[in-house]
Chain A
């Protein structure tokens, strides 16, 4: 088991003595990423602030290398823990290099003059985060993505063992979010840092965390590896999702099905049905889908969006029985749309639905869905 550098025991956090979240038993281990998720206002920031001693605990304690945080001097904490906080600092007339160099604070002397070694660490940190070319630029005149990277370089420059970050990827575009999290992975692997951060992006939390901690209703609701947390309907429950659903396996949000009797039957398969499902959902038309084998790429989306789905066994050809059920269902619909471009051995039975629709004159070409 990895070494726990920062941990809390029966911690209750809150503001001016009023508890906000209780039962926090966190352990930040070297070489691991711990991610806090939970709805807005659940208290993720409150926990993080308590971990870096910006808020006193209401009860319980935080331990850094076995010593209680309250008993440690600010400098002793700074030597081991650094942070990237929310909110944009706007220091006057400081270059990015200056901002990164502030991370050397606990190491410099009385007047804060950088030694040769300090300069080397600053340069290394900037190179690691790939912001070397920003060194002489004004910190107040760089983009949000660059700013987060510079602040990360600052935190690394402090040579911490634990890195605490409050929503560091908010305001970044998707490319910079990914870059940022890859960087964290590298830091964890190369420097054996312990990272504790809060994220709003669930799909990223799922992919980059070693442990996920869920905060809800004033307590730590669950804590465990992402494989345990992102399962079933838990995430939608955690956030109290009412409209739509969260697909834990794929890590994406899905809208809810349009209620009512299906008006269109979609023959899909192999991912071909998805554009039609989405289009019908957007236009508020209830629909049915089939016949989809249980391992078909269409199925998760169809299950979320369609009023009814006819499924077949995985890795088996669609059975005649399932095709009959589908035909009965299609007969209740006004139109049939065939999104599948061709039929293979597994979906040969689906062709019968298409032929039936042609014969009945209810087949609607996929490109005419918009006109429905």
Chain B
């Protein structure tokens, strides 16, 4: 593949992601239980007037922005973890990071509700971040002892199960009526977002994304292996810490607001790699962010319209679309291993 052809692929890739994102944004505003025509929606968007103005501005817009931002954050977080562990099926959900974040957030919410104080959105992110770091620490401890990647994944899944089980128990026995919300959240959902939350999400995710993008150079070196990266002049210890912190902030942000969402972190980076035919971080980071947004907007659209007015949990939809992608990837890798 020569340089010209590459540039063409990258341009085509970003263009198609951009178009898909735009189309899905429009569909997500326009489609819902209150029927509206496209021109009505446009009028509401530009004038803030009309019958359904509140639905568009207070329900649909915050929701779709959240889905796009958090979907992107999840995909990038997955890509960072895959680079870190050199393992294509690493991701915040599989490694149990989402689940332990969920547990700490649930405990924080219940604890604060019992005392009658509400936790702000930043507090939620912080709680989720603490949760992420706990399981991340456990995973790192395991990975320093065990070199086998499949065992690492098994450990992650085990941590995920324990955390989910404890969360379920806590939610079941919590008596407050507010727990109903908690139950919805613990399954994963983009619903009920306030503009203030959207602001917090946007600032956190975009700032972290910018920092991540600045790490794309050492990340590229790290794909050659830790030893080569060091030989090229990467401060490997510092880099590893930065990578873990950034990916944990991203997945913590998702878990704090939308609960655990499965398979986006694995499926999207793989789809992007296939589409762009590269794993270069400088391309992957922005492309995964866009791709994650597209993927989650599509899944959320399906989650809330397929059996309307009943809403599906976002995780069940992402799993339905994500798992086949992951399986396809594993089969393809096995084939290329046998081929070479």
Interface residues of chain A, those whose CB is within 8 Å of chain B, are 52-54, 73-79, 81-83, 85, 87, 89, 91-95, 98-99, 102-103, 105-106, 108, 110-113, 136, 140-141, 158
Contact B227 A111 (CB under 8 A): no
Other-chain residue from A92, A140, A158 in contact with B340 (beta carbon distance below 8 A) = A140
Please judge, given known A-B contacts A54-B227, A87-B225, A95-B1, whether A106 and B340 are in contact too, CB under 8 Å. Answer: no
Residues of A within 8 A of B2 (CB): 136
Closest A residue to B228 by CB, please name it: A89
- A89 B225 Cβ-Cβ under 8 A: yes
The interface residues of chain A lying within 8 Å CB-to-CB of B216 are 111-112
Q: Which residues of B contact A74 (CB under 8 A)?
A: 230, 233-236
Residue on A nearest B220 in the bound complex, by CB: A112
Q: List 21 A-B contacts (CB under 8 A).
A: A54-B227, A73-B235, A74-B230, A76-B233, A78-B231, A81-B231, A83-B227, A85-B228, A89-B225, A91-B224, A93-B278, A102-B220, A103-B232, A106-B232, A110-B214, A110-B217, A112-B216, A112-B217, A112-B282, A136-B1, A136-B2
Q: CA A52 – CA B216 in complex, angstroms?
A: 24
Given contacts A74-B236, A105-B232, A110-B217, 18 further A-B contacts (CB under 8 A): A74-B230, A74-B233, A77-B233, A83-B231, A85-B228, A91-B224, A91-B225, A92-B273, A93-B278, A95-B1, A103-B232, A105-B233, A110-B214, A111-B216, A111-B217, A111-B282, A112-B216, A140-B340
CB distance from A369 to the nearest CB of B (A): 46
Rounded to whole Å, the gap between the CB of A132 and the closest CB of chain B is 13
In the assembled complex, the Cα of A137 lies from the Cα of B2 at a distance in Å of: 10
Q: Is the CB of A78 within 8 A of B232?
A: yes
Q: Which residues of B contact A83 (CB under 8 A)?
A: 227-228, 231
Q: Assuming the A-B contacts A54-B227, A136-B1, are A108 and B232 also in contact, with contact meaning beta carbons closer than 8 angstroms in the complex?
A: no
Q: Chain A residues with Cβ under 8 A from B214's Cβ?
A: 110-111
Interface size on B, residues (CB 8 A): 28
* Residue numbers in B under 8 Å from A77 (CB-CB): 233
B90 interface residue per 8 A CB criterion: no
Within the complex, the shortest CB–CB distance from B257 to chain A, in Å, comes to 30
**8 Å CB contact of A106 from B88, B233, B280, B282:** B233
A112 to B229, CA, bound (A): 13
* C-alpha spacing A19/B143, complex, angstroms: 26
Of the candidates B234, B273, B282, the one whose C-beta lies within 8 Å of that of A105 is B234
Using an 8 Å CB-CB cutoff, how does the interface string of B314-340 with A read, 1 for contact, 0 for none? 000000000000000000000010001
CB neighbours (8 Å) of A140 from chain B are: 336, 340
